[in-house]
Chains A and B, each alone.
Chain A
Amino acid sequence: MGYTLNRQQADALLAALSKDYTVYAPKRFLNQGRYSATDVIRYAEVERFEDIVWQTKSDYPAKEVLTPIQQALFYFTEDEYRESKGPKKPILILARPCDINAQHIQAKIYAGNGGYTDLYYERVREMVKFAMMECCGGDDTCFCVSMGTNKTSDYSLAFKFSDDGVQVQVTDNAFASYFGDLPQTDYTPSFVEENELKVTVPDLSDKEVRKALKSHPMWQEFNSRCISCGACTVACSTCTCFTTRDVIYGDNPEVGERRRVTSSCQIAGFDQMAGQREFRSTAADRMRYKVLHKFHDYKARFGDSHMCVGCGRCTHRCPELISISATVNKVSAAVNEIKAGLAQK
């Protein structure tokens, strides 16, 4: 089923959907960017068609709907823990294919790893349906085609936005009723088939190669470039790491909550235990750890895909202009050099 809606009809659709779903989409927040007089585009509840930012990629990923920067796990009063409550209303997330694919990656960790299902992820995930936003091409940091994440079939609705309105494909019958008697039109979403940027992920299946790569001098560059701020992992569509923090409510020290707060392997102290030294004490160590997780370790554990959807947000947000695609290409060069060296032995 396909429909073509003008702006007014699109607003009416959004209003009708909002009755049954909490609808999240990329939204522009004026003057809230990191530099003066710049905006930030991030996921938030939308109520009007014009709130939806479809023209450019959001600065922050759709994962924030499922795994917010911080959330309460338990509330405690004196010696009692009470579990926080999950959403009651179903959720509809408008997301590009990269962000939808990212959820399949996050789910492997949250809902599968070690046989434990994370309650806080799962109780939101089972309420979520996706409305895919047809991607109008991304930008010069995108490389979804290289990562195989440019396409998805995991959506209930597909939208192609324009200034005049939106074309819609309905793939989930649960949504058919929202379109009433509107005349059907042909719309099948298309996917980005080529990015300006191309990345070749090196083959790291050889243990000796990996071992040599870990101590390769290429990582030293990041000691002078990376400031270990963690902006890349916060912007990442797939990063899952968090720390739990207990917070006491100001005026009553007996009452408070246990929170889950987004954490980053790029920040000093991520691996530090009480009374002990850090294992990864330099920016180079931490960058190596992150890059190998994204482009080897995750896939080695879970099999299907790498832990990167090529959304380019980490490159976009890095205040030191470190490009993940350039970094992967440097890894490829280092791997070729290592393999040539091993072949000579």
Chain B
Amino acid sequence: MMNPVQPKPCTILDVHKESAHEWTFRVETDMKVDHGQFMQLSIPKIGECPISVSAQGDGWLEFTIRNVGKVTNVIFEKTAGDTMFLRGPYGKGWPVDQFKGKHVVIITGGTGLAPVRSMLNLFASQPDMVKSVHLISGFKNEDGIVFHKELEAWKERFSTIYALDNDTKDGWRTGMVTAFVKEIPWDSFGGDYAVVVVGPPPMMKFTGLELLKNGVDVEKIWMSFERKMSCAVGKCGHCRIDETYVCLDGPVFPYTIARDLVD
């Protein structure tokens, strides 16, 4: 019988410090992952935690991690050549096929950029895939900015608005991401668009409301959730909200479902 919670050992290829508290770990594996899916990272003697895949390539996956818990604190002690255990991938990712040929608006808060990073890179490398990409990316302050190089590169490819909540930075705006929703040229899309929102729960809640206020079609909005999980395969119950399991039915949800989920 197959054991869906059996972790597999993988070698860490590289550790890249995005910010003081957010590092990206590149891990050697042949596992194929849909954009927006997540995996369980496993450290024997410590435990497991669900982390979304922040980039993928031939023979490797990347995870962008903040050291805020028991497992992630130990992962931060690891360096290239060390072993990390993985299992997955799990959940439903972004419906990339549905985004093809459309104007795609992506709004992220903080490290919420990680679960959309691989999809953004896909759109950057295959510009014909979508009509346009509008990216609004907000961070609390300059110390919280991740993926510096890519943020610069995406400026060339996409229409971007980068912002810090309260601080100022050259070329960046100041304010919450919700403040910039009205600057997206919604009328020019002819209804042919999709919106992706990822960030902390309050950010997603208020961004959803702001989108509706701007006349955005509720059926065209997608969000990615984050919840506590032990198993990631619909057994442990930690991530359940109503009749929905975030690990199985999410983490990516259409807003029509996401807005009605009450923890």
Question: What is A's interface to B at a CB cutoff of 8 Å?
Answer: 73-74, 76, 78-79, 81, 83, 109-110, 113-114, 116-119, 121-123, 207, 211, 214, 240-246, 248, 253-254, 256, 258, 263, 265, 270-275, 279-280, 285, 289, 292-293, 296-298, 300-301
CB-contact partner of A271 in B3, B245, B263, under 8 A: B263
A253 CB to nearest B CB, Å: 7
CA distance A280 to B228 in the complex (A): 12
CA distance A157 to B44 in the complex (A): 44
Q: Which of the candidate stretches B25-33, B152-160, B190-198, B229-237 sits at the interface with the other chain?
A: B229-237
CA distance A121 to B236 in the complex (A): 12
CB-contact partner of A245 in B4, B47, B237, under 8 A: B47
CA distance A114 to B246 in the complex (A): 11
A241 touches B66 (CB 8 A): no
A12 CB to nearest B CB, Å: 36
Most buried by A among B48, B49, B242, B245: B242
Q: How many A-B contacts at CB < 8 Å in the complex?
A: 120
**Prevailing SS type, chain A contact patch:** mixed
Residues of chain A lying within 8 A (CB to CB) of residue B235: 109-110, 113, 116, 118, 121, 240, 242
B233 touches A118 (CB 8 A): yes
A269 CB to nearest B CB, Å: 9
**Prevailing SS type, chain B contact patch:** loop
A119 touches B3 (CB 8 A): yes
A244 touches B9 (CB 8 A): no
Residues of chain B lying within 8 A (CB to CB) of residue A243: 230, 236, 238
Q: A113-B235, A241-B236 are in contact. Are A79 and B66 (CB under 8 A)?
A: no
Give 7 A-B contacts (CB < 8 Å), ordered by A residue: A114-B233, A114-B245, A241-B237, A263-B236, A272-B228, A274-B68, A274-B71
B27 CB to nearest A CB, Å: 14
CB-contact partner of B234 in A116, A121, A253, under 8 A: A116
Q: Mark B44-70, 1 if CB is under 8 A from A, else 0.
A: 111111000000000000000010111
B68 touches A246 (CB 8 A): no
Most buried by B among A79, A211, A246, A265: A246
A73 touches B5 (CB 8 A): yes
Residues of chain B lying within 8 A (CB to CB) of residue A211: 260, 262
Q: A253-B45, A275-B69, A280-B263 are in contact. Are A240 and B237 (CB under 8 A)?
A: yes
Residues of chain B lying within 8 A (CB to CB) of residue A240: 235, 237
19 further A-B contacts with Cβ under 8 Å, apart from A121-B235, A246-B44, A271-B238, are A73-B5, A79-B9, A81-B85, A83-B6, A109-B234, A113-B235, A113-B248, A114-B234, A116-B234, A119-B3, A119-B5, A123-B1, A244-B230, A245-B47, A263-B238, A271-B263, A273-B227, A273-B228, A293-B240
B44 touches A274 (CB 8 A): no
Residues of chain A lying within 8 A (CB to CB) of residue B4: 116-119
B66 touches A275 (CB 8 A): yes
CA distance A296 to B237 in the complex (A): 15
Most buried by B among A109, A274, A275: A274
Residues of chain B lying within 8 A (CB to CB) of residue A121: 235
B45 touches A244 (CB 8 A): no
B230 touches A242 (CB 8 A): yes
CA distance A298 to B237 in the complex (A): 11
The answer to the question of B247 belonging to the interface, with a C-beta cut-off of 8 Å to chain A, is: yes
A81 touches B242 (CB 8 A): no
Most buried by B among A110, A241, A273, A300: A273
Across the two chains, which residue of chain A brings its CB closest to B4? A116
The answer to the question of B108 belonging to the interface, with a C-beta cut-off of 8 Å to chain A, is: no
A244 touches B47 (CB 8 A): yes
Residues of chain A lying within 8 A (CB to CB) of residue B3: 83, 119
Q: A113-B235, A271-B238 are in contact. Are A300 and B247 (CB under 8 A)?
A: no
CA distance A324 to B44 in the complex (A): 40
Residues of chain B lying within 8 A (CB to CB) of residue A117: 1-2, 4
Across the two chains, which residue of chain B brings its CB closest to A207? B260
Residues of chain A lying within 8 A (CB to CB) of residue B228: 270-273
Residues of chain A lying within 8 A (CB to CB) of residue B72: 274
CA distance A248 to B72 in the complex (A): 18
Across the two chains, which residue of chain B brings its CB closest to A299? B243
Residues of chain B lying within 8 A (CB to CB) of residue A293: 240
CA distance A24 to B44 in the complex (A): 33
CA distance A273 to B44 in the complex (A): 19
CA distance A76 to B44 in the complex (A): 7
B49 touches A116 (CB 8 A): no
CB-contact partner of B2 in A119, A244, A245, A298, under 8 A: A119
CA distance A279 to B66 in the complex (A): 20
Across the two chains, which residue of chain B brings its CB closest to A255? B45
B92 CB to nearest A CB, Å: 10
The answer to the question of B254 belonging to the interface, with a C-beta cut-off of 8 Å to chain A, is: no
Q: Mark B6-26, 1 if CB is under 8 A from A, else 0.
A: 110100000000000000000
Q: A73-B5, A122-B1 are in contact. Are A81 and B245 (CB under 8 A)?
A: no
